[in-house]
Each structure stands twice: as structure tokens, then as C-alpha cells.
């Protein structure tokens, strides 16, 4: 039976490859269907990997069972061995008559038609409504965790989207001493986890584990060189009161204990006797001496970059901050789309938001019905959308709301004779077309070269009159070279050079 298992694995691999080929050849229109296809391909690739491992184990034949089975078949009559195995199969199915048999031909075939629409998609439960099937981030939970941090800035969600990967002190980040808390460690860990999970859901065909490993290796290299911004190691032999001064500008002085800049030397010296500075100096001295050990989770899996337990905790937090920066940089497109989507939703009413959410979740009901090869049904690729007002289509292929159509004046026609009586719908498209190739080409066909001065002019006659007037004014302003040089006759009369030579030719001088 080992050879039969080997044959089954080969068949399974071929069916899996054919299933992947069938899905790659199809390009769905909606992002939901594309993600479902990619996740199915990723599952097939994982199954190929596992089945190939089993097949390699059989071919290696470490225990010699495959060789013994081949020898047993070849030693005697092959038909006797065949009928023996057939009797075993009949006995098994007689004992278990309701044992299901897996049909590989149908198991990996793409499902089309009404049956596919009735079944829930693999991505329906992966994303929240805010993520819109992986088009946008949903960092509301992380935003709330950030607002609950001690001494955190009161950033709106829109501002947080711009600054969540900026951990510097002046851009929404905390002081180095304020980051050494369990609350901040949990926050930055949750932020890194959410971004990593989002990448795994939206990019199922990429090797996210390798990407994360590259980030960790890069961080380890920079940490060993002490090149991580905001997390450089501190000198243990600090000066009196634990204050180290660093010249920043002409008169500015930096205090390492307070992590604050002072305008001049006198202000810096005055704050040394304050309670805040003394407390900050004591905390910094305690950190440099090793400090009390924190939670075990902060130092799990962390090694190198310092021997003190406090330095290990700093490394754990810095590693998660570094991962957040790299993940945010790798998904900059989704980040920008999220910001635009949040700004757009802020201008919508609650009813419009709910309607948009309902349309998003009911997208499976309005998708076109694909053709099933077994049923022979016709495939209608075009979505049948009810649009009696002929409204423009939005990004999702549906007509835009009528109020938005009226707001932008898309029902107002603006014809342009220079463009060949082309009609532009809406003032925005009309204003934009003056810098487009169609309008510039029409002006050049009329002999007009300076196109920048003909904005808001759409008539051919009006453009030609203006161009002719401009040419006349240009010729009028042009100075005659003959009138510049002055000549004087024998009687002392001064005249232009051209008049002088004309009178001389006539013999009047």
C-alpha cells in the first residue's frame, strides 16, 4: 500500500498545480475576489510543500518498507499481490461503508456560478469594515492605547496616521525614560503585531516571515554598532548631578538627564537645583547601574547589545519600534489611502457611512454570475447596475451619490470650440482641460504659440482676434532701428538717419 500512497501524492501534486494554474489565469475585478484567490493559492502552495515532504520521505525509504514492498510484488505473481490488496480494500469498505472518498478533481477546481456566490469567502472574516478588504489600515485600537499612555500628545486619529511610526520626542513620541514601562511596551508590541498581521492578510503570496527576519537582522546589525536613533548607549561615568551638556546651537545647551534643550548656559545652570532635574538624574544613574529588572516578557528572546538587564529592556522596545517603522514604510501605499479615506469619511453623515458599509458587505450579491463549465451557462462579465440618471462611476464601479453629482456641478456642460466643440462635464474638468494636450494642440493649429495667455477662451474667433491684437501691439512697441541714430546737416538741423539719407539722395541738403 505504500506504492499506492506514493501514487496518490503524485496525483495530488498534479491536481494542486492545475488548480493554481486555473486561478492564476483568472483576474477578478473586485479586491475581495482577488484576495480570496491569492489566499487559496497560498493554501495550495502550503499543501504542495507538505505533500512533497511526505513524498521525499517515501523515496528516501529510511526503514526499507518501500523496497520490501517492491520486492514482494516482483518476487511472486504480480496478479496475486494485486488481488490480495483488492480484497483488503473491499474488506475495508465493507467494514466502513460510509467512509467518504475525496475527489481530487473537484476538490481543487475553482468554484463558479450560484454555488460559489452562496458560499462565504475565505476573506470575509479576515478584515474589519474599516479595512475594506485590505485597502486601509484599522489602527483605532492602537490609537486608543497611545492616548492612554502617560504624557502622550492628544493626537486625532488623522494625525496619528501620520505620526504612529515616528517615535522621536518632538513628533508625538515620549521621552526615553517614559518608554521604559509595561504600558508602552504593550502598546508598541500591539502596533507591530497589527501591522504584521495586516501584511500577512493582504499579501498571502509573499514570504512575510523572511521580510520580518530581514528587519530583525538589520536591527541587530545597527544595534551592535549603536546606530539606532534615540537608543544610543549612555556613558556610565556622568558628571556631577548626572548632567551632561551638549552644545546644540550658538547658546543652546542639552541636558541628558531631563532630555531637554535649554536656551543658554544660565538657564541650564539654574535648572540643576530643581526637583525635576534631581529626580531625573537619580533615575538615569539607577539605569546606568543596571536598575531593577522589569517584566520577563521584555527580555524574552533578546540577547546582545548590552549586559545590563535595563539595556536588554531598551533593546526589546527599540526592536519593536524599528519593526513598526519598516512595516509602515513597506505599506506606504495603504497608509496614504487610509489617510485619504479617513478625510473623506469625516465629511460624510452617519447615514452615508452606514450605507457605504452595507454596500461593501453586500458586494457578493451584485457581482456578475460566472459561467460554470459543467452547466454550460453563459458568462455575463458586465455588472448590471441600475443607473437611470447616467451618473459617473466611483472607484467601486457603482454610480456616485446624486448629491455629490450636484455638488461638483457634473451636470453642467462646458463646450470648447478650440477642442473641436468637445463638451466637458463640470467646472473642474473644464478648468483642467486648458493645460491638456487637446486644447494646446487646437491653439497651435490656429497658429498661436503662447498658449498660457489664452486661458478661459474657448471660441476660435475670439482667440484669433486676441492673437492678432497681441501681434499688432508687439509690432507697435518694436523700436525702428533707423530712428535711433540722429544725423545733423550743415545748417545744424538734427534728424533721424533714415530721413537724412533720403534728403541727401534727393539733393536737398
**Domain end (from 118, 144, 171):** 118
- pLDDT tens for 214-237 read 999 999 999 888 888 778 776 544
365, part of any domain:
no
pLDDT of 245 > 60? The answer is no
> Is 83 or 171 the better-scoring residue by pLDDT?
83
Could you tell me if 110 and 23 are in contact, meaning their C-beta atoms sit under 8 angstroms apart? yes
C-alpha 21/C-alpha 315 separation (Å) is 45
Q: What pLDDT score does 384 carry?
A: 64
Q: What pLDDT score does 246 carry?
A: 42
Q: Which residues does 375 contact at the CB level (< 8 Å), separation at least 6?
A: 113
Q: What pLDDT score does 142 carry?
A: 93
Please give the biggest Cα pair distance in the chain: 143
Could you tell me if 112 and 370 are in contact, meaning their C-beta atoms sit under 8 angstroms apart? yes
Q: Do residues 162 and 186 share a domain?
A: yes
DSSP state of 246: E
C-alpha 59/C-alpha 53 separation (Å) is 10
pLDDT of 191 > 70? The answer is yes
Q: Do residues 471 and 484 share a domain?
A: no
Q: Do residues 243 and 227 share a domain?
A: no
pLDDT of 164 > 50? The answer is yes
99, part of any domain:
yes
C-alpha 150/C-alpha 184 separation (Å) is 9
Q: Do residues 245 and 180 share a domain?
A: no
Q: What pLDDT score does 97 carry?
A: 84
Q: Do residues 304 and 156 share a domain?
A: yes
- Closest by CA to 297, choosing from 277, 319, 323, is 319
Q: What pLDDT score does 250 carry?
A: 54
C-alpha 34/C-alpha 278 separation (Å) is 60
Q: Do residues 200 and 332 share a domain?
A: yes
Q: Which residues does 313 contact at the CB level (< 8 Å), separation at least 6?
A: 180, 185, 294, 298, 299
Block residue for cell numbers 467494514: 95
Block residue for cell numbers 532635574: 277
400, part of any domain:
no
Q: What pLDDT score does 196 carry?
A: 93
Q: What pLDDT score does 232 carry?
A: 77
- pLDDT tens for 112-150 read 765 555 566 778 888 887 888 888 999 999 999 999 998
Q: What pLDDT score does 301 carry?
A: 40
Q: What pLDDT score does 119 carry?
A: 64
Q: Do residues 218 and 321 share a domain?
A: yes
- Closest by CA to 130, choosing from 364, 357, 410, 374, is 357
Q: Do residues 80 and 218 share a domain?
A: no
Q: Do residues 13 and 154 share a domain?
A: no
Q: What pLDDT score does 212 carry?
A: 92
378, part of any domain:
no
Helix (H) or strand (E) holding 39: helix 31-60
- pLDDT tens for 364-400 read 444 444 434 444 444 444 446 777 777 777 777 788 8
443, part of any domain:
yes
What average pLDDT does the chain have? 79
Number of domains in the chain: 5
Q: Which residues does 174 contact at the CB level (< 8 Å), separation at least 6?
A: 149, 150, 151, 152, 167, 184
169, part of any domain:
yes
Q: Which residues pair with 488 in a beta bridge?
A: 494
Single pTM value for the model: 0.57
Q: Do residues 200 and 333 share a domain?
A: yes
39's grid cell: 489566499
Give the best-scoring range by mean pLDDT among 40-54, 399-413, 474-488.
40-54
pLDDT of 284 > 90? The answer is no
Q: Do residues 30 and 58 share a domain?
A: yes
Range of the domain at 460: 405-477
pLDDT of 17 > 70? The answer is yes
**Band (486; pLDDT cuts 50, 70, 90):** confident
pLDDT of 417 > 60? The answer is yes
Q: Do residues 268 and 207 share a domain?
A: no
- pLDDT tens for 62-75 read 888 888 888 877 77
Range from 17-21, 213-217, 311-315, 402-406 carrying the lowest mean pLDDT? 402-406
377, part of any domain:
no
461, part of any domain:
yes
Amino acid at each position: 500500500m505504500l506504492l499506492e500512497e506514493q501514487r496518490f501524492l503524485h496525483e495530488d501534486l498534479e491536481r494542486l498545480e492545475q488548480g493554481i494554474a486555473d486561478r492564476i489565469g483568472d483576474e477578478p475585478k473586485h479586491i475581495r475576489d482577488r484576495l480570496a484567490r491569492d489566499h487559496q493559492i497560498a493554501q495550495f502552495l502550503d499543501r504542495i510543500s507538505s505533500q512533497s515532504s511526505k513524498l521525499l520521505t517515501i523515496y528516501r525509504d529510511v526503514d526499507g518498507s518501500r523496497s520490501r514492498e517492491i520486492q514482494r510484488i516482483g518476487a511472486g505473481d504480480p496478479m496475486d499481490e494485486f488481488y490480495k490488496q483488492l480484497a483488503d480494500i473491499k474488506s475495508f469498505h465493507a467494514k466502513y461503508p460510509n467512509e467518504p472518498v475525496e475527489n481530487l478533481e473537484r476538490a481543487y477546481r475553482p468554484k463558479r456560478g450560484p454555488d460559489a456566490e452562496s458560499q462565504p469567502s475565505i476573506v470575509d472574516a479576515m478584515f474589519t469594515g474599516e479595512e475594506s478588504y485590505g485597502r486601509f489600515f484599522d489602527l483605532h485600537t492602537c490609537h486608543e492605547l497611545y492616548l492612554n499612555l502617560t504624557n502622550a500628545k492628544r493626537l486625532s486619529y488623522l494625525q496619528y496616521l501620520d505620526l504612529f511610526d515616528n517615535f522621536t520626542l518632538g513628533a508625538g513620541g515620549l521621552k526615553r525614560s517614559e518608554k521604559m514601562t509595561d504600558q508602552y511596551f504593550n502598546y508598541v508590541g500591539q502596533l507591530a503585531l497589527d501591522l504584521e498581521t495586516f501584511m500577512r492578510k493582504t499579501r498571502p503570496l509573499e514570504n512575510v516571515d523572511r521580510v520580518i527576519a530581514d528587519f530583525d537582522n538589520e536591527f541587530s546589525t545597527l544595534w551592535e554598532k549603536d546606530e539606532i536613533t534615540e537608543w544610543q548607549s549612555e556613558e556610565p561615568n556622568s558628571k556631577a548631578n548626572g548632567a551632561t551638556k551638549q552644545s546644540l546651537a550658538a547658546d543652546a545647551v542639552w541636558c541628558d538627564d531631563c532630555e531637554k534643550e535649554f536656551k543658554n548656559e544660565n538657564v541650564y545652570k539654574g535648572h540643576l537645583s530643581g526637583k525635576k532635574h534631581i529626580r531625573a538624574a537619580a533615575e538615569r544613574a539607577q539605569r546606568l547601574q543596571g536598575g531593577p529588572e522589569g517584566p520577563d516578557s521584555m527580555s524574552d528572546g533578546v540577547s546582545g547589545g548590552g549586559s545590563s538587564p535595563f539595556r536588554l529592556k531598551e533593546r526589546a522596545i527599540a526592536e519593536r519600534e524599528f519593526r513598526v517603522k519598516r512595516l509602515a514604510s513597506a505599506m506606504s501605499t495603504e497608509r496614504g489611502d487610509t489617510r485619504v479615506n479617513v478625510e473623506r469619511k469625516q465629511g460624510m453623515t452617519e447615514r452615508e457611512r452606514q450605507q457605504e458599509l452595507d454596500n461593501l458587505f453586500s458586494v457578493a450579491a451584485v457581482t456578475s454570475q460566472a459561467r460554470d463549465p459543467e452547466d454550460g451557462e453563459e458568462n455575463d462579465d458586465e455588472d448590471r447596475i441600475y443607473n437611470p440618471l447616467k451618473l459617473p462611476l466611483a472607484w467601486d464601479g457603482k454610480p456616485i451619490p446624486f448629491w455629490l453629482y450636484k455638488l461638483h456641478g457634473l451636470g453642467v456642460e462646458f463646450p470648447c470650440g478650440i477642442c473641436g466643440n468637445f463638451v466637458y462635464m463640470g467646472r473642474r474638468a473644464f478648468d483642467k482641460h486648458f493645460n491638456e494636450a487637446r486644447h494646446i494642440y487646437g491653439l497651435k493649429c490656429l497658429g498661436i504659440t503662447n498658449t498660457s495667455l489664452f486661458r478661459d477662451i474657448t471660441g476660435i474667433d475670439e482667440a484669433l482676434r486676441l492673437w492678432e491684437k497681441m501681434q499688432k501691439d508687439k509690432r507697435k512697441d518694436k523700436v525702428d532701428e533707423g530712428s535711433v541714430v540722429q544725423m545733423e546737416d550743415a545748417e545744424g538741423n538734427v534728424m533721424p538717419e533714415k530721413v537724412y539719407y533720403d534728403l541727401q539722395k534727393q539733393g536737398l541738403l
